[in-house]
Copies of this chain bind each other. A is one copy, B any other.
Amino acid sequence: MNRAIRTDLALEAEALWRENQSAPGSPEGVLARHERRGAFGVTTVEVTSPQGEAALGKPMGKYVTVELDALIRREENAFADACALLAEELRALLPLGPGDACLVVGLGNRDITPDAVGPDAVDCVMVTRHLRQALPEDFGAFRPVCAVCSGVLGTTGIESSALVHAVAGSVKPAAVVAIDALASRSPDRLCRTVQIADTGIVPGSGVGNTRAALNRETLGLPVIAVGVPTVVDAATLALDLAARAGLQPDPAAFGDAGGMIVTPREIDKNVRDIAKLIGYGLNLALHDGLTIEDVDMFLS
């Protein structure tokens, strides 16, 4: 596998394995399937064995990637349809019984635009845990949801995983949903793809500062990761474009781009938009019978 190509998306890792092997099928221990769901594409990659882990460089588990090109093309009802689809996929992976509490965590640095997707999404999450107690007649039917932004090690001095561990120990949720920015290989996927995984997450992958993992091993709780690619590593882009041009460059020659990232020109707006989608989709997944108008009203 070409390790110089960097991606946090399982579906790209799987495709890359096939490119490198010039093999038609998935690696052993990996199941991949793609389906069309209305205007959107959904790709599910399951890593089922250690061989699969080694091939993709991803821990065993299920990775569901929703491609939201219809949203970008602004097809009618695209936002509502995308929310509904996200909610459906999230529900399928979230191991929550009725009334089980959920802790939502926004990972990443709010002050670095492409890293702000987690905190921005948390701003759109309906926080209900305290309202159930304070206003039981209005909110008694809502699932208890609480939400924190973990900050980043550089500004808190505390590992995100340690902070989430401490908070989870206090609020004792049945599951954690962790939202973070990712890096992808392809610029086409930036801010228009959402990967949902039942494997947990390693915070900071998207912007290049890998930290301790948030997963069942470290938290003692199921962790559903929701990730959005917001950057392509500049060296990855260069290598990839060179490869598409039929060239076989030496990856070492591309080190000059270190510390540089590739983003869409309108990254500020794109991050806000996809963060809102994730927040809304998550709200629909966590509470029964909710509409987008209900969420608008709650958050206003």
Residues A208 and B265 in contact in the complex (CB < 8 Å), given A147-B156, A157-B145, A238-B238: yes
Q: Which residue of B lies closest to A300 (CB)?
A: B273
Contact partner, A147, options B155, B237, B246, B257, Cβ 8 Å: B155
Copies of the protein in its oligomer: 4
Contact partner, A262, options B155, B188, B250, B260, Cβ 8 Å: B260
In Å, the complex CA distance between A170 and B161 comes to: 11
Cβ of A27 under 8 Å from chain B: no
Cβ of A247 under 8 Å from chain B: yes
Is A261 a contact partner of B259 (Cβ separation < 8 A)? no
Contact partner, A269, options B111, B187, B268, Cβ 8 Å: B111
User: A144: which B residues are within 8 A, CB to CB?
Assistant: 157
Which residues of A, 12-32, contact B by the 8 Å Cβ criterion? none
Is A113 a contact partner of B268 (Cβ separation < 8 A)? yes
Which residues of A, 254-290, contact B by the 8 Å Cβ criterion? 254, 256-257, 259-269, 273
In Å, the complex CA distance between A245 and B148 comes to: 45
User: A213: which B residues are within 8 A, CB to CB?
Assistant: none
* Among A55-63, A124-132, A219-227, the stretch in contact with B: A124-132
18 A-B pairs with C-beta separation under 8 A: A111-B268, A112-B266, A112-B269, A113-B268, A129-B158, A148-B158, A162-B171, A190-B260, A237-B257, A237-B262, A241-B249, A242-B247, A244-B256, A245-B247, A245-B254, A246-B253, A260-B263, A260-B264
Binding site for B on A (CB under 8 A): 74, 111-113, 127-131, 144-149, 151, 153-159, 162-163, 165-167, 169-171, 187-188, 190, 207-208, 231-232, 234-235, 237-238, 241-242, 244-247, 249-250, 253-254, 256-257, 259-269, 273, 297, 300
